[in-house]
Structure 1
């Protein structure tokens, strides 16, 4: 049976293999009974191991592990406090999410893409949905405030000029949301070259 730690490590390794964690970028977490497991700062996600994870409480304080969490770990904590249904947060840096979040800071409208159905609650490609974009902040309290103001965001959100924060009620659903969002953004970016 796969443990939560193993499943999270698999998700991190998978995201790194996609090229979504350049220059040790990105951070990843999963809710536990004590708080959440999160990647330590500055770790190469292509070589992720169990000792690269920290156990933190829901205030972001490290309970177990070596190293320090990235500043963005506080945003993970804020998300877990905001919504008890969130059990996983996967944050990546990709070209499509970075460029499109700058081009469409009010949100990215999607319609007509079959892959929209991979996002929880969507049953047809005919619906118009919006991927939220929040302003980038170095101060995690301010960034969390922007997220709270735009809540609910059932699949996650983009941070302007920064990347994707996918959320889910499990690691599997979070991975699905991340992969679907990245695919949809790649489609929008490719379409923009034609217009």
Structure 2
């Protein structure tokens, strides 16, 4: 499977999980001369190779029709920031959006077996922090927030916005996104218990 096919499969998987409402989210994978990224406004449930743009690491489009979303510049900034990043998957879910607003300083996790799906974690007994950064419509400002908190080996949440998962490969990034979504769903469910 080519990296393009693998990226398309990851996008379709995220969309069919309901993580890309109203054409939301953007997805990319590093290439030899830049990165492939979804074009703006594309319905992620039926994305095709024609909906991917090849961009350089400054965010300029090298190949493809359509335009990249403004957030493509954040993908470019991440690839420039850390040469080990091979993939960025950005989704919008209820859990990631609401919990990023409730815990703008970061979300503490401890005791969840699924923590071990996040690269570098060996035990559920560890306490880890999912970083949350302030939101901004200015991608250079948002990138500055991310740089300030780096390293973030699995990605980060943006307040009121969603998750940016990262990984060395598409498969690792996909695992990080799925694990984070699961963990956030658990935290959201536990917050309901505390109110009952």
TM, length-normalised to structure 1:
0.99
Matched, 1:76 2:75: yes
* Alignment partner, residue 58 of structure 2: 59
What's 2:166 paired with? 167
1:35-84: CA deviation from partner (whole Å, max 9, x where unpaired): 00000000000000000000000000000000000000000000000000
1:73-102 C-alpha deviation (Å, 9 max, x unpaired): 000000000000000000000000000000
C-alpha distance in structure 1 between counterparts of 2:4 and 2:38, whole Å: 11
Gaps of 5+ in 2: none
Q: CA RMSD in A?
A: 0.2
1:29 and 2:41 correspond: no
CA–CA separation in structure 2 for the residues paired with 1:9 and 1:164:
18
Alpha-carbon distance between aligned partners in 2 of 1:169 and 1:186, rounded to the nearest angstrom: 24
Q: Deviations over 1:2-35 (max 9, x none)?
A: 0010000000000000000000000000000010
Q: Is the partner of 2:136 in helix, strand or coil?
A: coil
Partner of 2:179: 180
Per-residue deviation, 1:129:
0.1
**2:3, 2:85 → 1: CA distance?**
14
Stretches of structure 1 that go unaligned for 5 or more consecutive residues are: none
- Hey, what does 1:128 align to over in structure 2? 127
* SS of equivalent to 1:165: strand
Return the alpha-carbon distance in structure 1 between the equivalents of residues 158 and 50 of structure 2: 28
Aligned partners of 2:42, 2:88: CA distance in 1, in Å?
17
Partners in 1 of 2:36 and 2:149 — Cα distance? 25
For 2:113 and 2:159, the matched residues in 1 are separated by: 25
CA distance in 1, matches of 2:171, 2:142: 26
Aligned-pair CA distance for 1:125: 0.1
Report how many aligned residue pairs link the two structures.
194
> Which portions of structure 1, spanning 4 or more consecutive aligned residues, are displaced by more than 3 angstroms?
none
Give 1:91's aligned residue. Answer: 90
- Structure 1 distance, partners of 2:164, 2:31, is 19
